Structure 1
């Protein structure tokens, strides 16, 4: 299993001999509704779009997970798996092989890979987006991804999961509360899934930020404070802090049956 963190929520996951592009934002700036005054993020270093992608996996239909400019640059023939809102977006962009997954549904590449949609983050009063469990059917290894730290208790039935990709800090807004759940939420998912490793997502990386929203966002917690919380709860899960755009192998220990 190889992973490359592409900044923010974007990842290249190499599992089951497949290259999966997860929630890609790879070109241009990131804004919500083109409102640069409210929030804007830009890359500090120009990057080349990864090649030979077998699958695009989208957890949400919002711009920071299904980035329109990036999706317009990618080959429309690449298969896409996504939440219903993300699937609707890519169909409108002209993608030809699109699978919408509702919670509990599974996309599979026979004998190689299984992708299960689980309940993810709320993006409205009635909309719950997707988290995913990716399982290598040959190696028996698995990854769980939820980009805002909203973990549903029902994922316990799929434990153990070797690698968890989730926020590790809390991000809060006045009056709204916690919009990204990190510290205690990461401990909870570690208790449920017993992963060997946790990797942070939703962090900055090689990016710059501007806009009105930044005046109110408050980040709490660090990787070190999370390590202390894991140890205090007798959890052996380790934290890997990847560097942006550096491919690395996740070396998993074989667990005796």
Structure 2
């Protein structure tokens, strides 16, 4: 797949959409002393804090330039990079820790940093066979990799992880998945360009602990039947979904209209993590869709490195 992929087509927003944060509610709420909080590390990178425990979802701090949200879209030949110095700064200072790392799918803006973070933190990593194959080829410790296919409901000290079968966002007029493909654990080819990091199936995760639960999707699509009966307190909802019929209304209704909806995957990641998030154009449409579909849900915008406590 050598054509350039535009995430503007992926999320169905106009090329001229400007960053709009005005009107967003403050990313704070009255704490309930549960030890549960969420910190946003940009894109779909979330740190879930459950007392002394830490769960990371799709941690990607490097944010190398791809032009993903430019009119031309990302160049599939863009080399993969891992900013080890940046990751070391956060991990060595104790600011970033992990007991588990959860991977939703194999694309460059979700998986690239995970192998190095796994080595640095000693965390157990969950993902599909393809995700684990990619990470093993990129140097992740094999004994820290745990395969998941969706349907798992796992208990650990202080929290549980529910793994759900899910779907990636739909791209362009043919509603395609960018960089599709899968690979076995025995595959030894080392990924070197962003097109080498194939989707490899998509998972979503519900993490519960301290009396609260958070549900995350790595792409703006889902398997509705997988979500039956789930009632998360916090929904991490990707911007976009233009190609998905009733994206916001079906999701929010199925989940019982969660108390909090936090947008995710809405920032242009060509810009650094230590700058405020720049809306690629999907934030306002998502806010409006949530307000229409679930007026009782509080839409809370968390900026880079901010923490939200329900």
TM-score (structure 1 length as normaliser): 0.72
Contact 2:221 2:241 in 1 (8 A): no
The counterpart of 2:228, out of the listed 157, 166, 170, is: 157
For structure 1, the 5+ residue unaligned runs are 172-177, 210-218, 252-257
1:190 aligns to what SS in structure 2? helix
Larger RCO: Structure 1 or Structure 2 (Cα < 8 Å, ≥ 6 residues apart)?
Answer: 2
2:149 maps to 1:102:
yes
Q: Which residue does the alignment assign to 2:258?
A: 195
Q: Which residue does the alignment assign to 1:132?
A: 205
2:116 aligns to what SS in structure 1? helix
**Deviation for aligned residue 1:226:** 4.2
2:248 maps to 1:186:
yes
Superposition pairs of residues 64-103 of structure 1, within 5 angstroms: 64-68=109-113, 71-73=115-117, 74-75=119-120, 77-92=122-137, 93-95=139-141, 96-103=143-150
Superposition pairs of residues 1-257 of structure 1, within 5 angstroms: 1-15=36-50, 17-27=52-62, 29=64, 31=66, 35-36=77-78, 48-49=89-90, 50-68=95-113, 71-73=115-117, 74-75=119-120, 77-92=122-137, 93-95=139-141, 96-110=143-157, 112-122=158-168, 123=177, 124=180, 128-136=201-209, 138-139=210-211, 141-170=212-241, 178=243, 184-193=246-255, 194-204=257-267, 207-208=270-271, 222-223=283-284, 225-233=285-293, 235-249=295-309, 251=310
TM-score (structure 2 length as normaliser): 0.61
Contact 1:7 1:207 in 2 (8 A): no
Name the CA distance, whole Å, in 1 between partners of 2:281 and 2:303: 21
For structure 2, the 5+ residue unaligned runs are 1-35, 67-73, 169-176, 183-199, 273-279
2:132 aligns to what SS in structure 1? helix
Compute the RMSD of aligned alpha carbons: 3.4
More strand by share: 1
Name the CA distance, whole Å, in 1 between partners of 2:125 and 2:103: 8
Would the alpha carbon gap of residues 187 and 125 (structure 1) be closer, same or farther in structure 2, given more than 3 Å must change? Answer: farther
Name the CA distance, whole Å, in 1 between partners of 2:181 and 2:76: 23
**Deviation for aligned residue 1:125:** 7.3
Contact 1:55 1:78 in 2 (8 A): yes
